[in-house]
Structure 1
Amino acid sequence: MSLSPFRREEGPHGPSFSGPAGSPLRVVVTGGAGFIGSHLCQRLLDGGGTVWAVDNFDPFYDPAIKRAAVRELEASPRFRLVEADVCDEAATAHALEAAGLGPGGADVLIHLAARAGVRPSIEDPAGYARFNVQGTAATLELSRRLAIPAYVFGSSSSVYGNEARVPFREDAPAASPISPYAATKRAGELLCHAHHHLYGTSVVCLRFFTVYGPRQRPDLAIHKFARLMAAGEAIPLFGDGSTARDYTFVDDIVHGVEAAARFALARPGAWEILNLGGSQTVTLARLVELLAGEMGIDPAVRRLPAQPGDVERTWADIGRAGELLGYAPGTSIEAGIAAFVRWFRDSSARSPRSAP
């Protein structure tokens, strides 16, 4: 039986699931100014929650994009922006305390702060280890220091590597990551398990599958392709276009994250690893076709060799998340791409810097 059932409704992008109902949550969201984090903060605030968003505005991509997202959130009196580097646990704790959060003052810590991206991780494996492994260890200790009873970790489908069996199930070994980024995310999951074992904290690790949508990071494929198409430039296509991804619209992801937070809080001592995906695969060639069609552009394509570290395909088995969380993504790739293009055009018209 689902603990936090989703409600099916008609949303702006077609049928969707509104997510779990319940009392307002008091949440620390690391990476709260980022793509997924800012959407999650908005959802929690819309539900009456109180949010402490921790972010260091790392220049991995233009911090002005994240600043713009935060300005929308700061309209709520229940939102607190905490500028801190989560790798420094003591400094982050001090900053949170200065923002009014004392021991026992939050229900859940949702750790989304990370250095993302497979290809950049190959160039800077040590930096990824610091941000993603040390950062996870520090936030786990932060949750213990502040007596936060539940912890949700944003992991990645990349931990599966080139797993032969599809769709990917959580009981797969996930023992052969093929990029430093994937290895750091698997290491984060193992740190979460050790913390849960030692201290009994309720922990849910969520393996995200290729999240996209409005405010997507500019370095990710859909945003990058849209920008190049709009500028009349050729898009780089790595490989023959047959690699496939389980693209997941950001609204569906944040619904799942909120459900996981409520599940962790309601089940003291819980330990789970769960997939959050769209449970549909789309090839790279089909993605380009959909995006170009929505933008009304005949794109130029620059063919390049397949990249080291890129997996051949991802595909989420979401049965376990459906059973425990009531998770049921409702946004098709067609509706999601249409929503992204509307945002891209609107943000480009308002400010060229918002769609770099």
Structure 2
Amino acid sequence: MPRLHGNKRDRRHLALTSLLMLASVIAHAEAIRPEGLSALQELRIAEGNDDAQRLLITDRADKVVLDTGKVLPRIENEFSPNSYDGYLAELLAERQARATAIDLQGERHALLSPTTQAGDYLLLITREEDNGAYNFNLKFRYDGTTKSFALSQILLNENDTQCDQSLLSSYAMDSKALGATSIADFDGSRAFGTLRALRLAHQTSASTAEKLMPEAVASNFDAALKACQAGNAQELKTLVGYFLSSDEDGACGPGNYIVEKYYFPQRVGWSNDLGFLFEQAGHYPEAVELLQHITRRHPDRVVANLNLADAYWALGEREQAREAYGQYHDKMLAAQKQARIPPRVLERK
């Protein structure tokens, strides 16, 4: 699938001048949120003037609910002559506690998002020439009573630039950072610069943004954990294999994606359990990569030291294994839990 940031002018023109046909709206709504179908039918993105970058949104009776030239600017790209950056626009029907993310490849991902409310949304997707690393999704929730769109969520989507270009992570950013609360006071040009600065700050500082887990990842994890608990080694290996990335030239080593994709700061226990599943399924380098990060960032996660030690031992890296076993042993003694220390720890430390 082509990238969203390629062929900008053609894509922008298509996005702004094409109607969201009722047939496609019905198909999308039935798949996502049947109870919101009637509300979603009220909206479509109608024809806009390409030069003026006008965004016109009407209801099904062609009554205008939004008419603005500030939302979809043409922003000259500072590196590519005659190229323009900006936004793509479309409509979404979201489920309760689920958020749709659309990444640079145009792929849709359902994310677990407790704060997301079911309803109809205007989605703005940033597009930038030669940016193969990330994009932003701006969600404006539609209120059918007031015919208004309130800014409800900003997603920063990071793609894997070293492996298969797939989605690495999605972060729910502080929506107050834009200085706009609705589409009525949203200035696309000003917001574009603010979003760039927001991403830079996210990279260079200790970000507290919540990392959202893809629904498919959570579901696959639950199935893998169930297989592990049932002692079904073959099913476990198959399911855990779905977590791995690969490409033809072998650039997808664990160090290129495992931590960014599967370390969730707000769900460290989940990440530790996935590291354990990697080890149980025989994917020892992936286990080491994830568990090593956890033990460094969260020294209080005692069991992570044991899981890390087991992965090192399976790789034949005895020195690192003994060190991790020793750390686990010492922390268990300090917690007065020596009776729960597995015999192998005493044999190997």
TM-score under structure 1 length normalisation: 0.26
TM-score (norm 2): 0.26
Structure with the greater alpha carbon radius of gyration: 2
Structure scoring higher RCO (CA < 8 A, sep ≥ 6) equals 1
